[in-house]
A and B are shown apart, each in its own frame.
Chain A
Amino acid sequence: MAYDKFEILKSTAVPLSIENVDTDQIIPARFLKATERKGFGDNLFRDWRYNNDDSPKTDFVLNDPTYTGKILVGGKNFGSGSSREHAAWAVYDYGFRCVISSFFADIFKGNCLNIGVLPVQVSPEFAAKLFAAIEADPTTEIEVNLPTQKVTLIATGESESFDINTYKKDNMLNGFDDIDYLQNIKGDITAFAEDLPL
């Protein structure tokens, strides 16, 4: 699966401070019937975004034109629940290349890294700062710098480092996925399979 390289992203951000946002909310089950990766951006947070008659819910942040950007700042334990990678697709296809939160659920985090959405984990204090800054000024910009592993609130210059392992970082910087790596070591894999205990 190809995705666009990620180096430095400077953008305004959309705030969603609810905690424990699960992947059923990010992409409800009825949208998992697709056999292709199409239309997922339209269905991001579908039931929080739209009423039954498809009219937009005016109190949901994605329907508020005040907030725009390629960065989503989420409450803690973002992406909990189902392993559906479709949730990460919805985030990417909607237009977010980065999600910032004080805590990510594991499978969602892995899915994001595999398809080119950068999950950036910051301290709860820094997350609170970001939410406050966006609230005070929705046009405030955040810079996410993958090479230096730093996230910065441009207006004040406050920044924090974030973790990412070297292998995943290299993949993101180049738009690579794991299959290319694994294809190259196929000989090692088949040899290994011969020796298994089972």
Chain B
Amino acid sequence: MKKTLFDKVWDSHVVKHVEDGPDVLFIDRHMVHEVTSPVAFLGIKNRGIDVLYPSKTFATADHNTPTINQHLPVADPLSANQLKALEENAKAYGISHWGLGHEKNGIVHVVGPEYGITQPGATIVCGDSHTSTHGAFGAIAFGIGTSEVEMVLATQCIMQPKPKKMRINVNGALNFGVTSKDVALYIISKLTTSGATGYFVEYAGDVFEQMTMEGRMTVCNLSIEMGARGGMIAPDEKTFEYVKGREFTPSGAAWDKAMAYWETLKTEEGAIFDKELTFDAADIEPMITYGTNPGMGMGISKSIPNATDLEGGVATYKKSLGYMDFSEGDSMIGKSIDFVFIGSCTNGRIEDFRAFASIIKGRKKAPNVTAWLVPGSHKVEAAIKEEGILDIIREAGFELREPGCSACLAMNDDKVPAGKLAVSTSNRNFEGRQGPGSRTLLASPLVAAAAAVTGKVTDPRDLMKELAQ
């Protein structure tokens, strides 16, 4: 039977199959952060067990951390407590820990790839649903709950039934002004928020081959938003080039051995998927969401659909639009906005800041906008400074903050107030996600930049054409 990329990585990590039950899957990399680990560490402590493979476990602080004045003590006592718990647990069990203030600190799904922790053909888990990000490297990566975090700490394994397989092909060339974020939001709008539940997705086709590694990370990151267990892209020259020479990447003879395995990681001709979908890149324009789940998105030039044109319950749809204070038939373009957030594990990398800078250059932040620019890590922050992007940011009246998950889920002080509308490069627009009563529009860094300088939802292509002249 011909194997898919997913089969190859999954099957090679099965320790044991339980009769009419799950597979016992060995985990190569366990990423840990401060929110979903304390109770797990407490669990192993109470059982009197040690962490089985500390060298395969990597901790970073990201969800709770403030994005300004990181050198000062954390003001929120609960946040401070969680950060301290992670620090103590990491020390007690001999686990690598890049806490607040550490030079390698950043969002877990940004730093993993930066330091070569993320590698092709690996199984990677973390108590966070956007772990799917690492699938961009041809890894099987997915989010787990706290009990499973405890399981992996204790036994380096997880028990999971093997998901079904889906392949999503996107062919052709991306249109002007269309980014990887738009590709992902487009796919999710077609599948809906539950359309890939039960499946592990492989992304294939021209568009993904052409995409940079950061673009692939953005797409894989969002796989969970259509319910997929995870998403992955076959490793290629771009992947190997990216991974080479990083701190945790093998070198010398170990590199050659790894490459020999990595080069086998592609779906075999004739392999069968449980479901296969194909989209045309020509149909994708810059996207924006209008509702309260990531599937409620559309091309920025379109109008909000009528309930009757969509599948799904009318009552739920109307409740969603009611929360957003939008109406069927509304145009998104021209809507006045209050906040702009550039950052998160979805779009907090250097290419995202380059894209943002390309639009704000020579322009000024709109007076009605509060903007939070949050780099995904200190490494990204350093690159922003090195490339002169910080100067562009300041010239335009913006400020750069320090790394963290920040306004993506607003566990720290970066909360959008009730009723305010935010254009955000993050991954979720659920009710109250960015703060109780807040309203979120998900978009690419280009769309967010355009909104930041005009103060309203704006098609970035209009500003880009201006620049091109």
Contact = CB atoms under 8 A, between A and B. Distances in A.
Contacts of B154: 179, 182-183
B122 A22 contact: no
A178 B151 contact: yes
B145 A85 contact: yes
Interface residues of B, number: 79
A111 B148 CA distance: 8
A114 B148 CA distance: 8
B147 A83 contact: no
B21 A165 contact: yes
Interface in B144-189: 144-148, 150-151, 154-157, 159-161, 163
Contacts of A165: 20-22, 161
Contact of A114 (B145, B198, B225): B145
Given A167-B18, A178-B151, A24 B144 contact: no
Contacts of B146: 85-86
A23 to B, nearest CB: 9
A198 B436 contact: no
B370 interface: no
Interface residues of A, number: 59
Interface of B is mostly: loop
Contact of B22 (A33, A167, A186): A167
A115 B157 CA distance: 18
Contacts, number: 199
B127 interface: yes
B53 A193 contact: yes
A139 interface: no
Interface in B390-419: 409-411, 418
Interface stretch (B33-41, B207-215, B360-368): B33-41
Nearest to B432: A47
Given A32-B35, A32-B411, A111-B145, A197 B430 contact: no
A35 B146 CA distance: 11
Contacts of B81: 33, 35
Interface in A20-78: 20, 22, 24-25, 28-30, 32-37, 47, 52, 75-77
Nearest to A87: B145
B203 interface: no
Contacts of A82: 129, 409, 428
A75 B316 CA distance: 10
Interface stretch (A100-108, A141-149, A153-161): A100-108
Contact of A192 (B26, B38, B122, B197): B26
Nearest to B46: A1
Nearest to A197: B261
A29 B148 contact: no
A125 interface: no
B312 A19 contact: yes
A25 B15 contact: no
Contacts of B436: 28, 47, 52
Interface string A77-107: 1001111111010000000000000011111
26 contacts: A20-B293, A20-B316, A22-B430, A32-B411, A33-B78, A81-B293, A82-B409, A86-B146, A105-B197, A106-B227, A107-B144, A111-B147, A165-B21, A167-B18, A179-B47, A179-B154, A179-B155, A181-B18, A182-B159, A185-B24, A189-B52, A189-B157, A192-B15, A193-B156, A197-B261, A198-B250
Given A81-B428, A178-B148, 12 more contacts: A24-B433, A76-B313, A77-B227, A83-B127, A85-B147, A107-B145, A111-B145, A114-B147, A179-B47, A197-B261, A198-B122, A198-B258
